[in-house]
Structure 1
């Protein structure tokens, strides 16, 4: 379980999610977190439940057989994340010490999946021994309609009112009228009709004396508003439609290492599950359970890492963020014209303003990253129609960046929250204590982050390419001049010769935060670093102070606030490492990029589902042991799931340029775990290519094995 920090709205651990193995499913705006046995035990035990648009519509769902909890045999999330399959059996059953059914006499098979606003479950009970009496099977259920921020730990002084009613012999509805005057309802449908049905339980008396098996179907439908939806389709029809709608956008990579292929398969499935159809196109929701919604920064970086293989995701991200770009000043939302969204929430607390995240813009980097992605997308696809449509949004974002540089004494893009309810820090490391000085003092004033200046540099160069393509050559020249001026000033003010790296930030007085942080690696990713300094940063980030054996820490060991168990001050984030690896590759430091590749994939090998989580602890690698989990990390998390694809691009030097009509593989190098890597269906200008990379000693070679012309 977790508690939200009042000062920064972050999730603080009070009970570790690692204590219990959880299973997550998602479809659209609906997601579920189940215990390993398929039950939900929300409340003090954790974030279990069925969530729809930031509200928990089902907090409890527990199966009982003969009055006892079935024994778990296995729990499997399908490779494509379509369904959860749970196998169970009965314990020894007795009445007042008199046994009447031996253990392992019955097999209970449960299948659970989500579609649109409904959770489905099929329960099959099979007998393998003689059963002399009917067996009670009971499902207990509850709906607390807790806002996601309540589940994270916020305490509300007032809540709305709940009610429950039995609709007929096979359905029950639980409703909640919130303080926002919105009615939220959970309707449970059971087939066949239970022998007994109440507002919190359903019971069947199973007669298996003659029948070999019996089946019970459950549908849990979530509704918002007074107009209730019709009953969802039958489970079989719903599952068929679910599978029909699933696409394997990323399942086009294979290698000589079967375990690596499993990691890629899980990443592909996680991205597929987190992708959500919005009004403006596909958008990768950030992660389950805490961030299953639109996040600007997360979506952009996920799209960047997947751009070479799935550029349509970038198109959806650009369109969605353009449509939600701020157009007015709203201090409570940290909104100003031209800013790109940080986070969007649809729960009761957000709608009432109890948390500022209904549409919240308190991020300094999403705006330059948006422009940066637009330039990268145009280079990759040549899709002039899309970039022309969002050019007004790009122009507004550039204008916002220009308007904010006056906040800082050195003219850099800096942040300072507009309201006390907003985030104190507004870069990707947005914990309240993430930006500090060498002596541990927290930075104050308008803070200019190292990586944000790098993003602005890349954004202006990217916008220049877009402007050129739209025939705005004079504006393109001006943008390039601004970028070069920024590059020179950045090198002067952010480089610290004694540290041998770029400083973490400049505070409001222009005083440098002389802290060794992974942020410096993003300067390489964005291309603002000079070659000699890039080499020194590469050497530093792969040294023992940063590199744990599982990846690069957010903060070097020995810094004032270093803690390997901290969210942002010593942990290891896969997306951070993947961007740094791309930066290493950009400057030709392939050995460093491959080092990250090997360590992150090795970390995924230790996960039960071969999945990279949001983050893990930064303890040094120990023999015969995997990485140490972070207690409340999201899993799956979009930009972590995308990281292996960025690592592939980093190792192979893959660069796809529509204007040059070329695919470049610059000095490909494969990590020790791979002897061969095969990329299928890489698209360019209406054709697709199959690329094969092989290892020859320490060198890599690239081959085009097949070309298909569209």
Structure 2
């Protein structure tokens, strides 16, 4: 251990305890004035670009409104509005395609009157179909105007547009005292270029192009006088491209090319993953949307595919979110884990930088590309303020190796795995007590640096907030799993003595964890130890992560499961972050009583690990039932923790991101937990360990389950209280084991 690390242990007060409330609010809660649920926005994403529309296909961004077209954390188009003869069209319907590539809305004209007040065009005479696609930093729109009348119609259509070039954090509510310079628009016959030079000296441009050439074009509006013959259709196209100095990318020439290329790319991504179909058509739609969301959120970085966290506020690289998402997807598509591990290794901290909470070996929390991050107005350009990303990095590396047997890739990561392990020793344990704690080193950083990062998420039984440095229960579990993962990797790479050392340290941590964190009266693990080593004796979902990681002794598991499945903790939709009898319980809060799908997926995995498959299936049923009440059957980032009531859906959290990667992956993880699906790469076997089908599924068909370059198709069917596994097709040398009931059956 370095002398600097020893000095840090003696002086825990060097860590900032109270980052600015503005940063805390923005990181945890998003904007204060806009409800993403009330607005029922529609979103598109491709790589570093995403768009937010209302249901009519407009983007009418007001104060803290999220609508617009964004690229790399900057809004390149803040206003887009269609009017017909200066009137707003009437919405018929709108929706996303099943693969998320296209947003389409159907509109019609309102009653339109001439200058004398006489009805000139009855409502419903014209049909407007607006479709939008994102591709290569560009938005491509197509509007088909169909005249269902018996005579030609000449109609005036206006498309208003604007670009505020606002930083995403400004959109979310941060007030800025200074801005860069907006330049006058450059107007041509069929296109307008809007531009801005930021305080960081970068010039940003938004090019808006129309076809056919408008009758009139200004710096903020295009006007078309469209002749539509009876029973025929005319089409208007719009293309919007986002460009930053030094990062310009090619934009396809047309809407149809963008549509073709986007669908090709999605098919290519999905082809390498497993396929899932079941006896329940509703669940099939849920899992299909989850898969589409995951691949929509996945960005092709130079290092490989990387799932961005969520739209609209978290469409960027997050360490923790991607590590958990990749773990949830690992059985389904291990290439995602490979891309996540490689990118985070390349961005691992190599030196101390208190302003970014960076320390050698630490894994990234968040990266941002906007003007405010560039200028340091927010600390997130490359920010390392999460205590769990580093052990989860090691944890995922071990899980990837177990899943794939890809030792060559893990060997390539070895320096980064060693550095992450060294961080646990030199920096993670801040006071030498054997536990990994956190404390921000910058006033602009996060107070709480676990996944529950709200300022009020860690507290004592009387509701008082815990003082740092804080040792979270789940983080100790992740460290335990990380050390066992390193022990396995070291053993496989011929370093037996070092492997034994890591395994021994894991067992020592397990003993200490049980002694200091398990509370007999609670019947579960405490939330955390504060800076004075006082336990936060609160019933929270964090206890379930001790089962997820395996740090819990087997004799503790039944008690923890029972605690989490009581009505205080289990709402009927899922396990609450905080039990309803605790002092700070609030079902409408971000982290103190809400229900998070990814949290529940990890808890269910823990239940499954200790043999509580039926309880895992109950969590699975609750979240699936919730999804049936949600637009697009898409699980959001979180929803409120109110109890489940017959005939009613869950209560939405107003600014929950949707889609959100680790929520989208939750159904895939829950499916794995219920059927006990594990992979033994060394034996060349796919194992179903005491599989249980949830009540809403009678059979599950899994296609292209891969291991070691070979694949099989299997079906699981209910047979009384047992589950039968049948191989439909498979390659020679790949075994299937069903440990259901008695002796294992091999196929």
Is TM more than 0.5 here? yes
Aligned residues of 2:359 and 2:427 also touching (Cα < 8 A) = no
Matched, 1:496 2:519: yes
Q: Tell me by how many angstroms 1:15 deviates.
A: 2.7
Aligned residues of 2:152 and 2:230 also touching (Cα < 8 A) = no
Aligned residues of 2:150 and 2:231 also touching (Cα < 8 A) = no
1:227–1:601: structure 2 CA closer, same or farther, 3 Å change rule?
Answer: closer
Q: Say how many residue pairs are matched.
A: 708
Structure 2 equivalent of residue 9 of structure 1: 26
Structure 2 equivalent of residue 529 of structure 1: 552
Residue from 252, 255, 273 that aligns with 1:235: 255
Give CA deviations for 1:234-257 in whole Å, capped at 9, x if unaligned. 221222122111132546000000
Q: Tell me by how many angstroms 1:135 deviates.
A: 1.1
Residue from 273, 276, 279 that aligns with 1:256: 279
Find the residue that maps to 1:407 and give its secondary structure.
coil
Matched, 1:198 2:215: no
Q: Tell me by how many angstroms 1:636 deviates.
A: 0.2
Cα distance in 1 for residues equivalent to 2:430 and 2:184: 54
Give CA deviations for 1:177-210 in whole Å, capped at 9, x if unaligned. 1001011110001001100000000000011256
Aligned residues of 2:363 and 2:384 also touching (Cα < 8 A) = yes
Structure 2 equivalent of residue 462 of structure 1: 485
Structure 2 equivalent of residue 587 of structure 1: 610
Q: Tell me by how many angstroms 1:697 deviates.
A: 2.1
Q: Tell me by how many angstroms 1:5 deviates.
A: 3.4
Aligned residues of 2:274 and 2:333 also touching (Cα < 8 A) = no
1:579–1:206: structure 2 CA closer, same or farther, 3 Å change rule?
Answer: same
1:253–1:528: structure 2 CA closer, same or farther, 3 Å change rule?
Answer: same
Q: Tell me by how many angstroms 1:698 deviates.
A: 2.5
Aligned residues of 1:61 and 1:140 also touching (Cα < 8 A) = yes
Q: Tell me by how many angstroms 1:696 deviates.
A: 1.7
Cα distance in 1 for residues equivalent to 2:726 and 2:671: 15
Residue from 344, 347, 353 that aligns with 1:321: 344
Cα distance in 1 for residues equivalent to 2:473 and 2:674: 25
Give CA deviations for 1:535-585 in whole Å, capped at 9, x if unaligned. 100011011100001000000011111000000000000000000000000
Structure 2 equivalent of residue 513 of structure 1: 536
Aligned residues of 2:96 and 2:104 also touching (Cα < 8 A) = yes
Structure 1 equivalent of residue 6 of structure 2: none
Cα distance in 2 for residues equivalent to 1:600 and 1:195: 52
Structure 2 equivalent of residue 111 of structure 1: 131
Residue from 152, 158, 166 that aligns with 1:138: 158
Find the residue that maps to 2:305 and give its secondary structure.
strand
Residue from 77, 82, 86 that aligns with 1:58: 77
Structure 1 equivalent of residue 5 of structure 2: none
Structure 1 equivalent of residue 141 of structure 2: 121
Residue from 7, 32, 54 that aligns with 1:35: 54
Structure 1 equivalent of residue 630 of structure 2: 607
Superposition RMSD in Å: 1.5
Residue from 368, 374, 377 that aligns with 1:351: 374
Residue from 671, 678, 685 that aligns with 2:694: 671
Structure 2 equivalent of residue 474 of structure 1: 497
Structure 2 equivalent of residue 73 of structure 1: 92
Residue from 299, 306, 323 that aligns with 2:329: 306
Residue from 147, 152, 167 that aligns with 2:167: 147
Structure 2 equivalent of residue 372 of structure 1: 395
Give CA deviations for 1:89-132 in whole Å, capped at 9, x if unaligned. 10101134222111111011111010011000001101011456
Aligned residues of 1:8 and 1:422 also touching (Cα < 8 A) = no
Cα distance in 1 for residues equivalent to 2:622 and 2:447: 32
Structure 2 equivalent of residue 222 of structure 1: 242
Find the residue that maps to 2:141 and give its secondary structure.
strand
Residue from 555, 558, 563 that aligns with 1:540: 563
1:88-99 alignment to 2 at 5 Å?
A: 88-96=107-115, 97-99=117-119
Give CA deviations for 1:371-393 in whole Å, capped at 9, x if unaligned. 00000000111111211111100
1:194–1:239: structure 2 CA closer, same or farther, 3 Å change rule?
Answer: same
Cα distance in 1 for residues equivalent to 2:687 and 2:631: 36
1:691-710 alignment to 2 at 5 Å?
A: 691-709=714-732
Structure 2 equivalent of residue 212 of structure 1: 232
Aligned residues of 2:195 and 2:203 also touching (Cα < 8 A) = yes
Aligned residues of 1:4 and 1:152 also touching (Cα < 8 A) = no
Matched, 1:636 2:636: no
Cα distance in 2 for residues equivalent to 1:118 and 1:672: 44
Q: Tell me by how many angstroms 1:345 deviates.
A: 0.3
Cα distance in 2 for residues equivalent to 1:36 and 1:614: 21
Cα distance in 2 for residues equivalent to 1:205 and 1:655: 62
Matched, 1:620 2:628: no
Aligned residues of 1:164 and 1:172 also touching (Cα < 8 A) = no
Residue from 288, 295, 310 that aligns with 1:265: 288
Structure 1 equivalent of residue 7 of structure 2: none
Give CA deviations for 1:654-673 in whole Å, capped at 9, x if unaligned. 00021122111111111110
Aligned residues of 1:113 and 1:119 also touching (Cα < 8 A) = yes
Aligned residues of 1:65 and 1:138 also touching (Cα < 8 A) = yes
1:346–1:394: structure 2 CA closer, same or farther, 3 Å change rule?
Answer: same
Q: Tell me by how many angstroms 1:409 deviates.
A: 5.7
After TM superposition, the structure 1 stretch with the greater mean CA deviation from structure 2, 204-213 or 466-475, is 204-213
Find the residue that maps to 1:270 and give its secondary structure.
helix
Q: Tell me by how many angstroms 1:702 deviates.
A: 1.9
1:589–1:227: structure 2 CA closer, same or farther, 3 Å change rule?
Answer: closer
Q: Tell me by how many angstroms 1:16 deviates.
A: 1.6
Find the residue that maps to 1:74 and give its secondary structure.
strand
Cα distance in 1 for residues equivalent to 2:420 and 2:109: 61
1:504–1:675: structure 2 CA closer, same or farther, 3 Å change rule?
Answer: same
Aligned residues of 1:409 and 1:508 also touching (Cα < 8 A) = no
Find the residue that maps to 1:609 and give its secondary structure.
helix
TM-score normalised by L of structure 1: 0.98
Q: Tell me by how many angstroms 1:224 deviates.
A: 0.2
After TM superposition, the structure 1 stretch with the greater mean CA deviation from structure 2, 377-386 or 3-12, is 3-12
Q: Tell me by how many angstroms 1:708 deviates.
A: 2.5
Give CA deviations for 1:26-79 in whole Å, capped at 9, x if unaligned. 001000011011110112272011000000000110001111111111102000
Q: Tell me by how many angstroms 1:232 deviates.
A: 3.9
After TM superposition, the structure 1 stretch with the greater mean CA deviation from structure 2, 578-587 or 95-104, is 95-104
Cα distance in 2 for residues equivalent to 1:112 and 1:484: 55
Matched, 1:418 2:438: no
After TM superposition, the structure 1 stretch with the greater mean CA deviation from structure 2, 248-257 or 490-499, is 248-257
Structure 1 equivalent of residue 209 of structure 2: 189
Cα distance in 1 for residues equivalent to 2:75 and 2:62: 10
1:423–1:492: structure 2 CA closer, same or farther, 3 Å change rule?
Answer: same
Give CA deviations for 1:148-202 in whole Å, capped at 9, x if unaligned. 1011110101111112323420000000110010111100010011000000000
1:131–1:69: structure 2 CA closer, same or farther, 3 Å change rule?
Answer: farther
Cα distance in 2 for residues equivalent to 1:201 and 1:602: 45
